[in-house]
Structure 1
Amino acid sequence: MSQQDQSGKATADEVRGGAGRAIDILFLYPKDMNIYGDFGNLLTITRRLSLYGYEPLVHYCNQGDPWPGQVDMVLGGGGQDEGQKKIIDDLQDRAEGLRSLADQGVPMLVICGLYQLFGRYFQATDGTRMEGIGIFDAYTVGQDERMIGNLVEESDQFGSIIGYENHSGQTHLGTGTQPLGRVVHEGTGNNGKDLTEGARTQNVIGSYMHGSVLPKNPAVADFLIRTAAEHRHGSFSPLQTDAQRAELAHLAELAQQARKIAATRPR
């Protein structure tokens, strides 16, 4: 049973985490799939986990690295076509394990290049076709024209989401995958035609939002955290000091300011 001070608040030792408070995070291909600030998503998750009283344990997984024994969350970023070509064989070797984690309800966030490879296939601008791992019912075809700029979308699950897109691939969703959101103000989205952006299936999220996306959208970050805690421990039970609550409030204020700036800034 957890220890608390006389006011009923969590003690400092308890909030630091420890037995029964660990969350194992798998960060995919940081060497080749980590551009446009995507590493900031990992920083956001680890900091917010600590503020909620959990102990984040990060496993960096590049080509040939061992698979961790425990995975409660998966994060991955974007990369150029050459980066995707470098990691595709290794990703295929890990496909069954990733699909199994998705089926178990493990939360995942994959951005841009990895979002594309989590679909059925990605055809690069030079005609190279890379078979994806099929978590998303989606396919992507590279184009010469890039889609760049601030992006504002509305999500059934998360409300307004704001980020920055930079991609040339056009992604088309099949009937088995829902979009993360629909473009409502600025931005191009998946393909510039149907107003969809990103993808969502089970607890897996794909998006073209760089920048990085989680600092500006704490609701998405907290969904990943809550779902990971429920997967690992059966429930999400934040344990916080007054200082940690104050920092979370400050982060929320900064996120709101960033969202206002991004939503009004021209592409």
Structure 2
Amino acid sequence: MKLVLYNLFPDRLNLYGDRGNVIVLQKRCEWRGIQLEVVDIKSPDCLDFSRVDLIFIGGGSDREQGLVTKELLKIKHEFKACIDDGVGCLAICGGYQLLGNYYVTSDGTPIMGLDVCDFYSEAQKNRMVGNVVIYTPDSGQLVGFENHSGRTFHRYEPLGKVIKGYGNNGEDGWEGLCYKNLIGSYLHGPLLPKNPLLADRIIGAALDRKYGKKDLLPLDDRLEFEAHSIAEEICLRTSV
């Protein structure tokens, strides 16, 4: 079995080691005998949505986010059709924000979004920074790190309920967004190394779409869960 992952603009969108998410997906596929071809996309001209199974979009500064969005606006309709067709996507922080209608920077500058989903984000002066623990119904508790001035507001299914931290906006108690096989989240760290169940959820959904229901072989995740437990303990015993 083979899956193809497009890593969008990794030279611009790679805050806080976000590329580690791609490495995790690649290794967890490899350990199961699944080939995951990772293609670094640095121009929309290189995008062939007919062959992609997974898309990763990392976080970036407001400047980098604006530059990338201008490039992706050239293929916004194809991108949305791809997501609507069930192609898997993990979008982190700035990558999450650019999938909405618009993002307003801290100086009031609007950045057009890709309109993949109907939501918006607005930056405020006070940043939301710290370790995060959230509860998800499908992947248990997730741990990560957030550092964002943007507040995101939407009516989609959230990724999870905030136990500790700020989440989407520091107000409604939710973190992230789920739409079909798209997952948006503010959790850096990177997210997937300490949350193997979420990584497998993403892989499993891509396999289901391409090959039908496939059971993933279990892996020895003792180190991953130990890292998860330590991060969770540290987060829960510190104040926001």
TM-score > 0.5, shorter chain as reference: yes
Residue 154 in 1 paired to residue 135 in 2?
Answer: yes
How high is the sequence identity, in percent, across the aligned residues?
36
Q: Displacement, 1:137?
A: 2.3
**Pair 1:236-2:217 in alignment:** no
Q: CA RMSD in A?
A: 1.9
Instruction: Please list every run of 5 or more consecutive structure 2 residues that lacks an aligned counterpart in the other structure.
Output: none
Q: Which of 73, 81, 85 is equivalent to 2:62? A: 81
Deviations 1:74-101 (A, max 9, x none): 1111001000111111111122222112
2:181 is aligned, of 203, 206, 216, to 203
CA distance in 2, matches of 1:60, 1:37: 15
| Structure number with bigger Rg | 1
1:67 match: 47
Pairing 1:67-216 to 2, within 5 Å after superposition: 67-68=47-48, 69-173=50-154, 175=155, 177-184=156-163, 186-216=164-194
Q: Give the unaligned 5+ runs of structure 1.
A: 1-20
Shift of residue 250, structure 1, vs aligned partner: 4.2
Distance 1:236 1:263, change over 3 A: farther
**Counterpart selection for 1:48 from 28, 46, 50:** 28
Give CA-to-partner distance per residue, 1:133-157, whole Å, 9 cap, x none.
Answer: 2222210011111110001111233
Runs of 4+ in 1 over 6 A off after TM superposition: none
TM-score by length of 2: 0.92
Relative to the length of structure 1, the TM-score reads 0.83
Secondary structure at 2:146's aligned position in 1?
Answer: strand
Question: Which position in structure 2 is the counterpart of 1:10?
Answer: none
- Among residues 220, 225, 246, which one is paired with 2:198 in the alignment? 220
Q: 2:16 aligns with which of 30, 36, 43?
A: 36
Superposed displacement of residue 62, structure 1: 1.5
Distance in 1, matches of 2:69 and 2:237, equals 38
